Chains A and B, each alone.
Chain A
Amino acid sequence: MRSVRPLLASCLVLCTAGCGIYALPAGATTQAQVLHQDWTVFTLVGLLVAAIVSGLIVFPLLAWRRRRDDYPPQFRQNTKLELIYTIIPLLMVVGLFAVTYRDEVIVEHLSARPANTVDVLAFQWSWRFHYAGTAINIVGTPNAPPQLVLPVDETTRINLTSSDVNHEFWVPAFLFKRDAIAGVKNSFDLRPIRVGLYRGRCAEFCGFDHALMTFTVRVVSQAAYGRWLHAGGK
């Protein structure tokens, strides 16, 4: 019975560490697919490390519980072992950094000729989507969140800023968020791969109605997008 508890504890740890892959939405943009890869790599490595280290923590509790009033060998160090357990984690993080760097360069890449450009303005507590080169200007309120319409399989450039406090543009299905800061213009590309309706919201606490600062993203076919633009955003 005594030895069951640490085992239970370590199982709990493994389950917890294991929730990396779980509920992560399948990415709905080409960028999100890359981000998804990064998650998967880190989660698997994290699981492996969690399994090994929690095993190392729990094993001594099972193997060397005090049974007599005695004193074990009083060893203090092992330089070779200490070097090994310094170098292995070092190599691991170098590898993880390489994966990260590769993926980040792809995600942050800005296309030279985006098909569409939307200027997004965040304010307390909603959003304004202005489609560059058109008169389309969609302004929301906390109780009537605005909708961002994007064409599928086409790159849309988002230019993001804020007119008051810091906000943050987040579409969980795109696995991506970016800050909206007054005086800073943040640009990024989105290339949706699936038609559908997605939830978006502000992720940076921005005052009392922060919780209500949401929007939706409707990804439509290119033909439908053309018609929508032509109709002036109706």
Chain B
Amino acid sequence: MKHGIIEWLTSTDHKHVGTLYMCTSIFYFFVAGLLALVIRAQLSQPEMTLVGPHQYAQIFTLHGTAMIFLFVVPFALGLANFLIPLQIGAPDMAFPRLNAFTYWLFFFAGLTIFSGVFVNGGAAATGWYAYAPLSEISVSTGGGQDLWIIGLVMSSISGILTAVNFITTIFLYRAPGMTMWRLPIFTWEMVATSLLILMAFPSLAAVLAMLFIDRHFGGQFFDATAGGNPVLYQHLFWFFGHPEVYIMILPFFGVISEIIPVFSRKPIFGYTGLVLSAFAIAGLSMGVWAHHMFTTGVVNNAFFAAVSFLIAVPTGVKFFNWVGTMWRGSIVLTTPMLFAIGFMLNFLIGGISGVMVASPPIDFQAKDSYFLVSHFHYVLGGGSLFAIFGAIYFWFPKVFGRMLSERLGKWCFWLLFIGFNTTFFVMQFLGVMGMPRRIYTYPALPGWGNLNLIASIGSLIMALGVLVFVWDVVTASLSHKHAADDPWGGYSLEWWTTSPPPEYNFTSLPPIRSERPVFDAKHPELARSNVS
């Protein structure tokens, strides 16, 4: 047993590294979820005093920071770590030791950020985007803000190195026959994601380094009284921050594009268009950052609105790809498929409300209100989170060699789906009625107490869904029933090898003549050669 733990902690095997990434990120999901429950308890009624303003600010800062930087992104990177070499028929990543290094950097980044809880003045309390001058030392004097900065710089370096590893691996380590145009969609989405990381994360590291210099070495970058400019912080932060949104969703477009074809028993519809749309989204997402700054009065709103609207087009294309894949298929609603459907329905609302707030006149009312809170939770909670659960239910047998229960999985899905929509549905009302985000208390205005109570009840339903999931994982881990190598009738190469895969992944490979070689090998009568 001891040998086993040491082997895991010192491993450079991409499957071990990927699994560590995913498990660590799920841990932070639980932590950030508990923080969200405290937020919902505090806001469940007007004038509550469960936590004070100082604690509340730390709680929402840590909730946002953990969900984004320690859960959604690292889960995506972990899943990609596990899957990319398997999907392209490679024995490991191009740089296995660098890979292990990125995980440990991320591991200590999380500890660094949360260690702020123990220092004088508490953890960072300036929100997940820590606008200067609020985050300057003159206002935020505590060491928690510094630990937050250092942790995020570590996590951005970890992300950059991971992206380098992914791109190198995908470009150079594909098995014979695996041409670029036969890559599974998930791997393609990770190419686009990695390019975005390489372009966006340096900006995050830069702006945080500047903030650190401001705080400790008299930098004056963002101090208006000394010739600096607070708006510069916003530009640099959102130059990272908006691509970050797509770094958190493109991998999950990939997940959905793997799940839907398998449970529709059809090839993905419009493969080429789906790949091109990923790169269109990635490219456009580099030119929309100032739509977070429509109300600053110092950006060209028309330009950034136009580019933001354009992103809706390739995103819409993906929806039609998924619908086309299900069209006239042979659909079976397993748990991963349910989560994929839930993803589409939730993300649809996130996308539509996204087009709304991309219009500056609407943003003038919606920005910094609960309408916006609802919008981005529909993208990241209804979208990414549902895809993460879909991914867990889909690949759990491959990662751990155990099946999760379909019965519990469906309970988990319906509790999460109903709870999620109960919580975030009503926030749209609250937002337009004038409730701003990040307030720890609110007066008893007509309707506010009731709507907030509904949102809080929804969060408890979600928590119940998460408990069902935990129960499911525990019982599956304790069971002695081994999962089949290919329990779903999968398409890509990870389903060719054992569950879990052996060291170096494969003892043999099927011929690779399309993007779904395993399907081709098992159904030669339906196979289509894709020799170009």
- Given A46-B355, A75-B269, are A164 and B139 neighbors across the interface (CB < 8 Å)? yes
- Beta-carbon contacts of A67-93 to B below 8 Å, as 1s and 0s? 000111111111001100110011001
> B133 touching A166 by the CB < 8 A rule?
yes
Among A146-154, A180-188, A220-228, the stretch in contact with B: A180-188
- Beta-carbon contacts of B110-142 to A below 8 Å, as 1s and 0s? 000000000000000111000101100001000
A166 to B320, CA, bound (A): 42
Which of B269, B324, B328 neighbours the largest number of chain A CB atoms within 10 Å of its CB? Answer: B324
Among B158-166, B185-193, B363-371, B476-484, the stretch in contact with A: B363-371
Looking at the assembled complex, report how far the CB atom of A51 sits from the nearest CB atom of chain B, in whole angstroms: 10
Set of chain B residues within 8 Å of A203, measured between Cβ atoms: 367-369, 436
Cβ 8 A contact of A168, one of B295, B309, B320, B353: B295
Looking at the assembled complex, report how far the CB atom of B153 sits from the nearest CB atom of chain A, in whole angstroms: 22
- Given A60-B331, A71-B523, A72-B329, are A86 and B309 neighbors across the interface (CB < 8 Å)? no
A34 at the interface (CB under 8 A from B): yes
> A97 touching B331 by the CB < 8 A rule?
no
A184-205 residues at the B interface, CB under 8 angstroms = 184, 186-188, 199, 201-205
B250-299 residues at the A interface, CB under 8 angstroms = 264-273, 295-298
B352 at the interface (CB under 8 A from A): yes
Set of chain B residues within 8 Å of A208, measured between Cβ atoms: 53-54, 57, 125
A47-62 residues at the B interface, CB under 8 angstroms = 49-50, 53-54, 56-57, 60-61
A177 at the interface (CB under 8 A from B): yes
Set of chain A residues within 8 Å of B368, measured between Cβ atoms: 168, 170, 177, 203-205
Chain A residue total in the interface (Cβ 8 A): 91
B508 at the interface (CB under 8 A from A): no
- Given A71-B330, A72-B265, A96-B309, are A17 and B352 neighbors across the interface (CB < 8 Å)? yes
Among A19-27, A113-121, A129-137, the stretch in contact with B: A19-27
- Given A19-B428, A211-B53, are A65 and B352 neighbors across the interface (CB < 8 Å)? no
Set of chain A residues within 8 Å of B266, measured between Cβ atoms: 72, 74-75
- Given A17-B352, A25-B433, A184-B297, are A166 and B305 neighbors across the interface (CB < 8 Å)? no
A233 at the interface (CB under 8 A from B): no
A66 at the interface (CB under 8 A from B): yes
Looking at the assembled complex, report how far the CB atom of A128 sits from the nearest CB atom of chain B, in whole angstroms: 17
Set of chain B residues within 8 Å of A164, measured between Cβ atoms: 133, 139
A127 to B230, CA, bound (A): 20
Closest chain A residue to B418, Cβ basis: A12
B432 at the interface (CB under 8 A from A): yes
A205-226 residues at the B interface, CB under 8 angstroms = 205-212
> A85 touching B320 by the CB < 8 A rule?
yes
Cβ 8 A contact of B305, one of A70, A81, A100, A206: A100
- Given A6-B341, A13-B345, A75-B269, are A175 and B364 neighbors across the interface (CB < 8 Å)? yes
> A34 touching B265 by the CB < 8 A rule?
no
B425 at the interface (CB under 8 A from A): yes
- Beta-carbon contacts of A159-182 to B below 8 Å, as 1s and 0s? 000001110101011011111011
Set of chain B residues within 8 Å of A20, measured between Cβ atoms: 356, 428
Among B83-91, B206-214, B310-318, the stretch in contact with A: B310-318
Closest chain B residue to A206, Cβ basis: B134
> A97 touching B306 by the CB < 8 A rule?
yes
> B317 touching A177 by the CB < 8 A rule?
no
Among B396-404, B438-446, B457-465, the stretch in contact with A: B438-446
A42 to B53, CA, bound (A): 36
Set of chain B residues within 8 Å of A181, measured between Cβ atoms: 224, 230-231, 296
> A183 touching B323 by the CB < 8 A rule?
no
Looking at the assembled complex, report how far the CB atom of A70 sits from the nearest CB atom of chain B, in whole angstroms: 6
Closest chain B residue to A99, Cβ basis: B359
Looking at the assembled complex, report how far the CB atom of A142 sits from the nearest CB atom of chain B, in whole angstroms: 10
Looking at the assembled complex, report how far the CB atom of B349 sits from the nearest CB atom of chain A, in whole angstroms: 5
> B309 touching A97 by the CB < 8 A rule?
yes
- Beta-carbon contacts of B419-448 to A below 8 Å, as 1s and 0s? 001000100110011101111111000010
B327 at the interface (CB under 8 A from A): yes
Cβ 8 A contact of B348, one of A34, A53, A172, A209: A53
A107 at the interface (CB under 8 A from B): yes
Set of chain A residues within 8 Å of B71, measured between Cβ atoms: none
Set of chain A residues within 8 Å of B365, measured between Cβ atoms: 24, 35, 39, 172, 175-177
Closest 6 CB pairs of A and B: A183-B224, A172-B434, A211-B439, A60-B326, A182-B224, A208-B53
Interface contacts beyond A57-B319, A97-B309: sample of 19 additional A-B pairs, CB < 8 Å, sorted by A: A16-B421, A17-B352, A20-B356, A22-B429, A46-B353, A46-B356, A56-B323, A70-B330, A77-B271, A78-B270, A90-B313, A100-B361, A101-B302, A179-B295, A184-B296, A205-B126, A205-B438, A208-B53, A211-B442
Question: Which residues of B pack against A, CB within 8 Å?
Answer: 53-54, 57, 125-127, 131, 133-134, 139, 224-225, 229-231, 264-273, 295-298, 301-302, 305-306, 309-310, 312-313, 316-317, 319-320, 322-324, 326-333, 341-342, 344-345, 348-349, 352-353, 355-356, 359-362, 364-365, 367-369, 417, 421, 425, 428-429, 432-434, 436-442, 447, 523, 526, 528
